[in-house]
Amino acid sequence: MMLPLSVGIHTLLLGVACVAEGDPVLGIPAQLQGRRGDIIRELGPLLSKDATIVLPLSSEAEPLLIRAATPRISPDYKAIVEVATEQDVQQTIKYANLHKTPFLAVSGGHGWPTTLNGVKAGIQINMRKMNHTTLKRDGRSASIGAGALQHEVIAALFSHGKRAVTGLCECVSAIGPLLGGGHSMIQWRYGFAADNLVSARVVLADGRAVDVAADKNSDLFWGLRGAGHNFGIVTSFVVKAYDAGDTWTLITLTFTQDKLEVFFETWNMLEKAHPDRGMLVVIGIMARNDDIDPENPVINLQLIYEGRNDAADLYAAAFRKLEPKADSTLQEISWGDLFTAGGFGLTGPICRKNQNILGYPNSLDKWDVDAMRAAFGIFSDLTSEELFKTSAMLLESYGQQGARAVPEGSNAVAPEERRRHLLTSPILWWMGDDAAARKRAEDYGAGIQAAVRKGAGSAEPHAYVNYATGCEDFGEVYGREAPRRSKLKALKAKWDPQGQFGFYMPIE
């Protein structure tokens, strides 16, 4: 399970990928690895006219190097290739292979597992120029460029009265969440983002480009949906499209911490009473709000639902009985505006960049009140430090139905991800590059995770792959069934025999 957190440089040299030793100064400076400019001269002529190659010390590189979770997550690059076509991706991979250079695709730049720091003197393949969203003529599916961000996809489809299953945060790519499953506002009806993939174009480790769908390279199609960071670079993909639906209501209730026990008891009671509650998303966020409680974090609850929904009325009434300190409602929110209204917008704090994001996830099927109290205590200590004050503890429930309607074996999304519908994780945010601060963050985060796990009884822990720290074992993120494990390993051996796609929760 958890590895010891205090591992030194010697372990880095042994190549243990999960430890947080990503500091580029420990490696050989990228610019000494080869003569600067060689790549521009050699690869440049092979690329399309819209592609660009940027060297890491140039001023154009800065925005391409800042990730959501820098400096903690800082893959080390000797060049960045902004690809504009599938052939650009192929040429770049072939060039990297020729020079025995690692490479990493970047779309939204929000991934945070420490395994990403395994990239040393590599080539960043930046996908952002491949950002199209095109609705197919019959309106039932859409083709998306793998560099498109969620807000671009939502806006493009909504302009045709349509939507697709994407994540919640506008700044994240559409492909990133999908490759690991993809939790969504409309998951209750349509399942995970991965469950809605129709086909993909994928460039493999040797530079070949292939079609992937139910009837084309179907084994890869299975693996791409859930373990999809392990096999190739998706250049474009087709997902199911649906009508944009009714308008939404957003109720926000804020509770002080003395209500914590009744809050989680009420949540459990409601989920038991209304297992099929319709398109109602329940999201709690524990965070500091000094206006409401200067001493302790508070619990914010969002009830977000489409159209009229009787279960939502019952949820709201039951939580209101707990006497929230703040209570507000927004109505008639269109699908196109929902993400900004809910606080998931491009300019919202959740989308901030260049802070050391770190998560410690658990998936559960009900809340354990004592465990959540213990976790809250550690979270309270964490956020009493000024440095970590803006951290949050996520409590997410998208409803069971959509994810469970899809048979467990039908793609690589872990069965535990379908069965355990509650997703909780502290999301630690802090600034700067201080090693002692990072160690404290890791200790707090692991402490919160362990406290939550104590409440799960004998159930083996499950961590959502897209929220993982990088230190989890295989079964914890990809599922524990032996046949599934062999299947994933066989796929890895077939499609990525050299392990070139090994920087994001690698199957190894």
Ligand X SMILES: *[C@@H]1O[C@H](CO)[C@@H](O)[C@H](O)[C@H]1NC(C)=O
Ligand Y SMILES: Cc1cc2nc3c(=O)[nH]c(=O)nc-3n(C[C@H](O)[C@H](O)[C@H](O)COP(=O)(O)OP(=O)(O)OC[C@H]3O[C@@H](n4cnc5c(N)ncnc54)[C@H](O)[C@@H]3O)c2cc1C
Region of 24-32, 108-116, 308-316, 475-483 interacting with ligand Y (CB under 6 A): 108-116
Interaction mask 5-44, ligand X, x per CB under 6 A: ----------------------------------------
Ramachandran bin of 207, using left for φ above 0, alpha for ψ from -120 to 50, beta for the remaining angles: left
441 with 453: CB under 8 angstroms? no
The answer to the question of residue 93 lying near ligand Y (CB under 6 A) is no
Binding site partner of 129, from ligand X, ligand Y, none, Cβ cut-off 5-8 A by kind:
ligand X
- Provide, rounded to whole angstroms, the least separation between the CB of residue 305 and ligand Y: 17
Which of the ranges 16-24, 123-131, 226-234, 454-462 carries the binding residues for ligand X, by CB under 6 A? 123-131
Q: Is 80 in the site for ligand Y (CB under 6 A)?
A: no
| Binding at 131: pick from ligand Y, ligand X, none (beta carbon under 5-8 Å per type) | ligand X
Give me the 138-177 binding string for ligand Y, x by CB under 6 A, dash otherwise: --------x--------------------xxx--xx-xxx
Give me the sheet containing 197-203, strands edge to edge. Answer: 133-135, 141-145, 233-240, 197-203, 209-213
399 binds, among ligand X, ligand Y, none (CB under 5 to 8 A by kind): none
Partner from ligand X, ligand Y, none contacting 284, C-beta within 5 to 8 A by type: none
Query: Is 391 in contact with 297 (CB distance < 8 Å)?
Result: no
Residue 125 CB-half CA count within 13 A: 30
Nearer to ligand X, 108 or 113 (CB): 108
127-135, 282-290, 355-363, 465-473 -> range binding ligand X (CB under 6 A): 127-135
Cβ distance to ligand X smaller for residue 53 or 84: 84
CB atoms within 10 A of CB 246: 15
Cis peptide before 361 (omega within 30 of 0): no
DSSP string, 321-353: TT--SEEEEEEEE-TTTHHHHTT-STTSGGG--
Burial class of 482 by CB neighbour count within 10 A (0 to 12, 13 to 18, 19+):
exposed
The stretch near ligand Y (CB under 6 A) out of 178-186, 262-270, 334-342, 488-496 is: 178-186
Distance CA 307, CA 330 (A): 13
Which residues lie below 8 Å from residue 435, measured CB to CB, with a gap of 6+? none
Q: Are 12 and 501 spatial neighbours (Cβ–Cβ below 8 Å)?
A: no
Stretch that binds ligand X, among 125-133, 182-190, 207-215, 418-426 (CB under 6 A): 125-133
Q: Among 79, 157, 234, 394, which residue sits at the site for ligand Y (rule: CB under 6 A)?
A: 234
* CA contacts within 13 A on the Cβ side of 312: 22
Closest CA to 456 of 340, 361, 346: 361
> Contact between 107 and ligand X (CB under 6 A)?
no
Stated length of the chain: 508
Those residues with Cβ within 8 angstroms of residue 450's Cβ, 6 or more apart along the chain or in another chain? 2
Distance between CA 378 and CA 11 in Å, rounded?
28
CB 337, min distance to ligand Y, A = 17
The radius of gyration computed from the CA coordinates of the chain, to the nearest angstrom, equals 22
468: helix, strand or coil = coil
Q: Is 133 in the site for ligand X (CB under 6 A)?
A: no
Binding mask 60-99 for ligand X (x = CB under 6 A): ------------------------x---------------
User: Six-digit token pair at 94?
Assistant: 């072939």
Map residues 331-370 to x or -, x wherever contact with ligand X holds by CB under 6 A: ----------------------------------------
Interaction of residue 120 with ligand X, rule CB under 6 A? no
Residue 41 C-beta: closest distance to ligand Y, Å: 26
Strands in 319-477 per DSSP E: 326-333, 358-359, 362-364, 392-397, 422-428
358 binds ligand Y (CB under 6 A): no
Contact window for ligand X (CB under 6 A) among 16-24, 126-134, 231-239, 470-478: 126-134
3-class DSSP state of 436: helix
Residue choice 110, 120, 128, 420 for contact with ligand X (CB under 6 A): 128
- Three-state secondary-structure class, residue 149: strand
Q: Is 189 in the site for ligand X (CB under 6 A)?
A: no
Interaction of residue 261 with ligand X, rule CB under 6 A: no
Q: Is position 412 an interface residue for ligand Y (rule: CB under 6 A)?
A: no
Q: Does 128 bind ligand Y (CB under 6 A)?
A: no
| Distance (Å, whole) CA 478 – CA 476 | 6
Considering only 108, 297, 445, 461, the residue that binds ligand Y (CB under 6 A) is: 108
Alpha carbon distance 120, 229 (integer Å): 18
Residue 499 is given by DSSP the state -
The yes or no reply on residue 129 touching ligand X (CB under 6 A) is: yes
Q: Cβ distance 182 to 411 under 8 Å?
A: no
Decide if residue 50 touches ligand X (CB under 6 A): yes
Interacting residues toward ligand Y by CB under 6 A:
68, 104-111, 127, 146, 167-169, 172-173, 175-177, 179-180, 182-183, 229, 233-234, 350-351, 357, 466, 503-504
Interacting residues toward ligand X by CB under 6 A:
50, 84, 128-129, 131
